[in-house]
Chain A
């Protein structure tokens, strides 16, 4: 699978990587819902590291991503803004 880190680029991960990403992703979401900035940043940092462990997709390759995650330096407010921009999360 190909995962894009926003502002950084794409990485190619083994297809079973989702199993490793999911539990961390759940923690990112839980932290976002609890509005726990520190926990959010920590969990997002873990997620980013898991993705970075993959192989960077060469700049001249053109592929859509299977998954997209926020930039590693995104804070909670920025991520929420991005999500709410599209109106998926009201308020």
Chain B
């Protein structure tokens, strides 16, 4: 067997490192069981960590989606005001945010898969640890050291393989989570620096320009209204705020 043989050899080597065997296996049964419970705890924490990372990404996605909606609205507003340059800027930013979003979605899906796999691995390990506990009690109660050796070899083999397999799944999920954390951190920095987030705030330059345009046209409208008033009456303009005494 080409690859299978190599894989099996390497994996068995990994697995045998998971549990130390003593001369009298009964002595190490409890110790081994402790190690199994520790690993089970680690795996459960691993599942929680992956879930936390996934939630962080989902929060970022929601923020970025808000940005997209906002930028789209700004582009329309700018175009309505005849400011194609401003609309272009808004759309360019929208594209950049959308690209980030796409990357995030792929990562979220990967994390979801890892979470699922790790949860299943945790359930398998949990069942095997429980089986080991039962066998350990039986062996301790009923068998001599020599008999126990034979009885427990199979159980040791089975449980240490499961531990090695779960350990690898855990490592893999942790690696993936770290990659996501790095990327999520970069996006958080972007959001904090204002490059993305500020676009949804009133302080953003596109908003300011749009506000200026709106103000400008209000002023124009008021000017026009005033001109009309002045032009309509031949006399001096009425003073604003000074009503006729009743």
Residues facing B in A48-90 (CB within 8 A) are 59-70, 79, 82-83, 85-86, 88-89
Contact with A along B110-145 (1 / 0, CB 8 A): 000000010001011001101110010000000000
Q: Is A62 a contact of B131 with CB atoms below 8 Å?
A: yes
Q: Is B157 a contact of A59 with CB atoms below 8 Å?
A: no
Q: Is B161 a contact of A25 with CB atoms below 8 Å?
A: no
Q: Is A59 a contact of B161 with CB atoms below 8 Å?
A: no
Given A7-B117, A62-B128, A62-B132: A32 and B154 interface contact (C-beta under 8 Å): no
Q: Is A86 a contact of B7 with CB atoms below 8 Å?
A: no
Which B residues lie within 8 Å of A65 (CB)?
8, 161
Smallest CB separation, A7 vs chain B (Å): 5
Tell me, in angstroms, the Cα distance from A30 to B2 when the chains sit together. Answer: 9
Q: Is B127 a contact of A60 with CB atoms below 8 Å?
A: yes
Most-contacted residue by chain A among B1, B130, B169 (CB, 10 A): B1
Given A62-B132, A64-B161: A88 and B1 interface contact (C-beta under 8 Å): no
Which B residues lie within 8 Å of A28 (CB)?
2-3
Contact with A along B88-121 (1 / 0, CB 8 A): 0000000000000000000000000000010001
Chain B interface helix/strand/loop/mixed: helix
Contact with A along B1-39 (1 / 0, CB 8 A): 111111111111110000000000000000000000000
- Any A CB within 8 A of the CB of B155: yes
- Any A CB within 8 A of the CB of B159: yes
Which B residues lie within 8 Å of A42 (CB)?
none
Smallest CB separation, A30 vs chain B (Å): 8
Smallest CB separation, B170 vs chain A (Å): 11
Cβ-neighbour of B124 out of A59, A64, A69 (below 8 A): A59
Q: B123's closest neighbor in chain A, by CB?
A: A59
Contact with B along A1-30 (1 / 0, CB 8 A): 000101101000000001001100110111
Cβ-neighbour of B1 out of A9, A62, A67 (below 8 A): A67
Which A residues lie within 8 Å of B12 (CB)?
64, 68
Tell me, in angstroms, the Cα distance from A85 to B17 when the chains sit together. Answer: 14
Cβ-neighbour of B4 out of A21, A30, A89 (below 8 A): A21
Residues facing A in B157-201 (CB within 8 A) are 157-159, 161-162, 165, 168-169, 172
Which A residues lie within 8 Å of B161 (CB)?
4, 64-65
Given A9-B124, A28-B2, A60-B128: A86 and B10 interface contact (C-beta under 8 Å): yes
Q: Is B8 a contact of A68 with CB atoms below 8 Å?
A: yes
Q: Is B155 a contact of A62 with CB atoms below 8 Å?
A: yes
Tell me, in angstroms, the Cα distance from A29 to B10 when the chains sit together. Answer: 15
Which A residues lie within 8 Å of B157 (CB)?
62-64
Tell me, in angstroms, the Cα distance from A79 to B169 when the chains sit together. Answer: 13
List, sorted by A's number, 6 A–B pairs whose CB atoms are closer than 8 Å.
Answer: A25-B2, A29-B3, A67-B5, A70-B3, A83-B7, A86-B13
| B residues with CB within 8 A of A | 1-14, 117, 121, 123-124, 127-128, 130-132, 135, 154-155, 157-159, 161-162, 165, 168-169, 172
**With A4-B161, A63-B154 given, can you name 4 additional A-B contacts, CB distance below 8 Å?**
A30-B2, A59-B128, A62-B131, A62-B159
